[in-house]
Amino acid sequence: MIERLIAASLWLAAAAFMQSARVQAEPYLAVLEGYKCNVCHVNPTGAGLRNEFGAVYSKTLLPEETLRGALDAWTGKLTDRVQVGADLRADWIRSSAPHTMSQQAFSLEQFRVYANLILLPDRLAIYLDEQVAPNGAQNEEAYVRFGNTRDGFYIKGGQFYLPFGWRLQDQTAFVREISGINMATPDKGLELGYEHAALSAQFDLTNGAGNAAGGSGYQATTQLIYTMPIWRYGIAGSFTQSRAGDRSMGAVFAGLRTGPIAWLAEGDLIHDASFPAGRTLAAGLLEGNWRVRRGHNLKLNAEYFDPDRALTNDQQTRYSVLYEYTPLPFLQLRAGFRRYRGIPQNNAENRQQLLMQLHGYF
């Protein structure tokens, strides 16, 4: 055990000399296993608190070494009615860009706690996702959910993440950043969902992030996913009515497993009328995750962003390589490198990043 921890520490130290990045897309696990999001997560659209099976998967199938006996009893359930979980991510990032002084820093990216209070089993629950650090507490999700999230209709009311494309952990992925729908931008409203066999569908009516201060407008978002054991595809659309200018978005996304590799792809097209004469933006993601062996994952990632389809010379790209090592249950180490490319006259669009991350969760 001690040797294992030492090995993990040495690996972490060695990775400090590697180039690294800030990516961690958990949906690849769902693609690799052929699961829908609700197989492992309390939230039927994924992310946040893992359910009983998600906790078991995390401690038995994900890590290189399982600690037999030590964690057998732990499933995240404190009682039949209360389930809890947490995520803590600590980063070291070095950023460099042309003609700019390099930056590097350790940071606490997030410490989040989750709770699911089951009022009526499989019928009624209250869910909470609270970021408690860094800085002060910030509520990410807090909603009441009525209905069955495994088979049938359900409805959520409160604050939650919107369903739109792959729910990547990396909030800076072009498809998540440009769409503005990610795990940094929860919204308030209602979600009607339907889960049955291979089908997942959601329709959300919310305020719209851009209307937070305006007090008017709305955002309507819908998503449909069809999941099979080795492949899946989804479509999503969103419309925001806002005084700032309406915004329409569409996305297609797909996943495929080929042997030990899980592939993810997504393409987003966005029309934003807040610009004079409007502007159409496009973003794309291609990602391959190779499970080298149990507890080891190599992630390769290529992204594309066109900030204005009417211009021909303004596109941006981003490539990432990341190695994820899960030596023990509830502990993950990541290291990688990310390279941005954009127009040469913009330094920030041509930066590169090294990253290491320590991720503890349960």
Partner 1 sequence: MNVFRAASGGRGTLCAEILASLGSRACVALIAAGIAACAGSGEGLDANGRPLAPEGSGAVPLSADFDSIQANIFTPICSLCHVGGGAPEGLRLDAANSFNLLVAVPSTEVSSLDRVKPGDPNNSYIIQKLEGHAAVGAQMPLGGPYLSASIISFIRQWISDGAQPSAVPAAKNLLITSIVPEDAERVSESPPQIMIAFNHDLDVSQIDRRSVHIERLMPDPSCEAAQRIAARVTLSSINPKVLMIWPSRPLVAGHYGLIIDSASPLRFSDLAGQTLTIRTENGSGKSVISSFDVEDPP
Q: Which of residues 318-347 bind partner 1 (CB under 8 A)?
A: 319, 341-346
Interface residues for partner 1 in 263-292 (CB under 8 A)?
263, 265, 272-279, 284, 286, 288
Q: Spell out the alpha helix ranges (H) of 180-324.
A: none
Residue 66 makes contact with partner 1 by CB under 8 A: no
Residue 60 makes contact with partner 1 by CB under 8 A: no
Residue 310 makes contact with partner 1 by CB under 8 A: yes
- What does the alpha-carbon distance between residue 298 and residue 288 come to, in Å, rounded to a whole number? 8
* Residues touching partner 1, count (CB under 8 A): 100
Residue 138 makes contact with partner 1 by CB under 8 A: yes
Q: Which of 242, 289, 320, 357 binds partner 1 (CB under 8 A)?
A: 242
Q: In the chain, what's the furthest Cα-to-Cα distance?
A: 64
Q: Which of 46, 147, 307, 336 binds partner 1 (CB under 8 A)?
A: 307
Q: Spell out the alpha helix ranges (H) of the chain.
A: 2-15, 27-33, 37-40, 52-60, 174-179
Residue 316 makes contact with partner 1 by CB under 8 A: yes
Smallest separation, CB 160 to partner 1 (Å): 16
Instruction: Please give the structure tokens belonging to residue 184.
Output: 């940094």
Backbone angles phi, psi at 9, to 5 degrees: -65, -40
- What does the alpha-carbon distance between residue 292 and residue 290 come to, in Å, rounded to a whole number? 6
Residue 154 makes contact with partner 1 by CB under 8 A: no
- What does the alpha-carbon distance between residue 286 and residue 179 come to, in Å, rounded to a whole number? 16
Residue 45 makes contact with partner 1 by CB under 8 A: no
Instruction: Please give the structure tokens belonging to residue 352.
Output: 């590169």
SS3 215: coil
Applying CB under 8 A, the span of 7-15, 81-89, 311-319, 326-334 interacting with partner 1 comes to 311-319
Residue 351 makes contact with partner 1 by CB under 8 A: yes
Residue 148 makes contact with partner 1 by CB under 8 A: no
